[in-house]
């Protein structure tokens, strides 16, 4: 792996963490959205990541991360008994998303720190390249 490959690897990591931050913020934004039916209720979403292998050298380590997709959580939805709510069903229940706000906040902090770490990797690599070029002068 060359120093230039580090930029590609860190860049894919930054992209993956950006997707993770976006899905987490979507989950937090919809955490308290009520619905009158199970089918219309927002479900928490999580990105699925996979390692990218070097296409030219299968013996080399992974060359980055790829977002395979975003999946909806299969955890059960929350139901609240609130017969006065405009979206309550016949039995007086309102369906709420299966978003755990505490987990989402921890996920957001983790994604943010991972993104910052990838930025630091890129900055350090840039500094190493600049010092290597300065040695030739």
* pLDDT band at 7; cut points 50, 70, 90: confident
Q: Are 29 and 42 in contact (CB under 8 A)?
A: no
Task: Tell me what the mean pLDDT of segment 13-33 comes to.
Answer: 95
Locate 101 and state its tokens.
């706000």
pLDDT value for 36 = 86
What are the pLDDT digits (tens) for 113-130? Answer: 999 999 999 999 999 989
pLDDT at 1 over 80: no
What are the pLDDT digits (tens) for 73-111? Answer: 999 999 999 999 999 988 999 999 999 999 999 999 999
pLDDT at 136 over 70: yes
Cβ burial, residue 94 (10 Å; 0-12/13-18/19+):
buried
pLDDT at 60 over 70: no
């Amino acid at each position: 792996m060359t120093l230039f490959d580090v930029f590609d690897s860190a860049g894919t990591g930054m992209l993956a963490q950006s997707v993770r931050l976006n899905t987490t913020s979507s989950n937090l934004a919809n955490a308290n959205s009520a619905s009158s039916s199970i089918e219309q209720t927002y479900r928490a979403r999580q990105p699925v990541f996979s390692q990218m292998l070097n296409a030219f050298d299968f013996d080399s380590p992974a060359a980055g991360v790829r977002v395979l997709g975003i999946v909806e959580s299969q955890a059960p939805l929350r139901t609240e008994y609130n017969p006065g709510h405009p979206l309550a069903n016949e039995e007086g229940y309102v369906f709420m998303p299966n978003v755990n706000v505490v987990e989402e906040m921890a996920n957001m902090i983790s994604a943010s720190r991972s993104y910052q770490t990838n930025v630091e990797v890129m900055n350090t690599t840039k500094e190493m390249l600049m010092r290597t070029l300065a040695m030739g002068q």
